[in-house]
Amino acid sequence: MTDLQQRVLYHSIQPTSIQQVYTQQNTVDFLISVGEGRSLVPNSVRVCGDMRILSDVSDSSSVSASGRAIDKNIGAHAFIDAINTNFSSVGNIENLQNYPRYVNMDSVASMSDLDMLNSINACELRGVSQAYQEDLCKGITPTFGTGTAVNADTDFSIKPLCCLNKMSQDNNGLPMAKSGMVRLQLTLARNADAVFGELQDLNTGYELRNLHLTFKSVADNNANEAITMGIVNSFKSNLLSGSATITTNADAVADSVSMNFIPNKHESVNVFNSYKLENIKGITQVEYIFNSQTNSLITFPISDRTEMLERFVDSMTNTSHNQVSLSTFTNNNTFCLGVPFDEPIDLRNNRFTLQIASSVDQNEPVNCFMYFHSRRGL
């Protein structure tokens, strides 16, 4: 093996269909090929580019001056509505819909506001306040002693929370011999979802430029080790009454489920933050119903609001370092539900049922987003 083959190689690729500007609901495909005899380094995939927030989408020079922002917990992830991952060797691996709301949940369950000051989050355009986010949306204006400063687009580098970045790290990575060509497909979000603020209207939008994907590879050690990846299956439904029941299957053997909510009147509506994790009005009890591995029926009722939030944190990544608390719940800043399963539950044939008692009625329905967490071996 040559010295070059043994090295860690850094790759940068462009979309299969290169555009000067990428806008809402565009589909962006990346084909990842590390080459024969090499492996993709676990959790090394990043999407990079430049963003421009516009007050008028018909004029690319109308950069937002104020009153428009992206969510501080989500950053540039806000521009991606869905992520699909496909291996040519086995087919579709993960299809994660309503992706920004999942990122928001992950953020509030694992990080504090001050964590947003870390460079690993700052490069994703996350921030400590919405005022800071508004400044980011104005672009970057260099300060010179002489001459005229030219406003530049704000650049970003995000690490997508998809299966490629949730691989076990106790092996040599993902060999191309196992995965074949990897297709990562991004569906860009609508303008009304990605951007919000007091001045956001039908003319407001965003443009992305210079999109590219980076990753690392190493030589395959031919050990034929098992690869384990974290997979998320998403599902959307709604609450139409004060005694709502949602029943669903998932193509997974799930370890836990997490969920968040937003009134239908606030989703994809100008001014409002479509990715906000909102309260359920007048919630008094949540009950989870499912079958165990031995097919025993399990019911899990919770009426204490603090326990509701604690169970949600447990369903994500409990680092004892997060933004979830009863006070933020009361202020309607952060609210989610969830439950970890004591053992993996096969939801391919068994149904998962959610029952919520609240003050919701059919005149103001609430949208519910469920995310089932599982693992897949390759």
Give pLDDT tens digits for 230-253: 999 999 999 999 999 999 988 889
The predicted model gives 282-311 an average pLDDT of 87
The pTM of the full predicted model, rounded to 2 decimals, is 0.93
Reported as a single tens digit per residue, the pLDDT across 105-120 is 999 988 888 889 999 9
Q: Please give the pLDDT value at position 67.
A: 93
Query: Is the pLDDT assigned to residue 149 strictly greater than 70?
Result: no
Query: Is the pLDDT assigned to residue 39 strictly greater than 90?
Result: yes
Query: In sequence order, what E strands does 56-181 have?
Result: 80-87, 91-96, 154-158, 174-175
* Measured CA distances, 297 to 288, 289, 292, 300 (Å): 11, 7, 6, 10
Q: Exposed/middle/buried for 202, CB within 10 Å: 0-12, 13-18, 19+?
A: exposed
Query: Is the pLDDT assigned to residue 2 strictly greater than 60?
Result: no
Residue 242 CA to residue 267 CA, distance in Å, equals: 20
Q: Please give the pLDDT value at position 182.
A: 97
Higher pLDDT, 331 or 217: 217
Q: Please give the pLDDT value at position 147.
A: 65
Q: Please give the pLDDT value at position 89.
A: 92
The fraction of the chain above a pLDDT of 90, given in percent, is 72
* Measured CA distances, 45 to 161, 166, 216 (Å): 10, 10, 7
The predicted model gives 288-307 an average pLDDT of 83
What confidence tier does 330 reach under pLDDT thresholds 50, 70, 90?
low
CB 213 within 8 A of CB 32: yes
Q: Please give the pLDDT value at position 213.
A: 98
Query: Is the pLDDT assigned to residue 360 strictly greater than 70?
Result: yes
Residue type, 208: L
Place of tokens 């097919």: 295
Residue 181 CA to residue 32 CA, distance in Å, equals: 6
Cα dihedral 254, 289, 84, 90 in deg (nearest 10): 40
Containing 211, the helix (H) or strand (E) segment is strand 205-219
Reported as a single tens digit per residue, the pLDDT across 123-143 is 999 999 999 999 999 998 777
Q: Please give the pLDDT value at position 146.
A: 65
- How high is the mean pLDDT of the chain? 91
Reported as a single tens digit per residue, the pLDDT across 55-104 is 999 999 999 989 999 999 999 999 999 999 999 999 999 999 999 999 99
Higher pLDDT, 222 or 11: 11
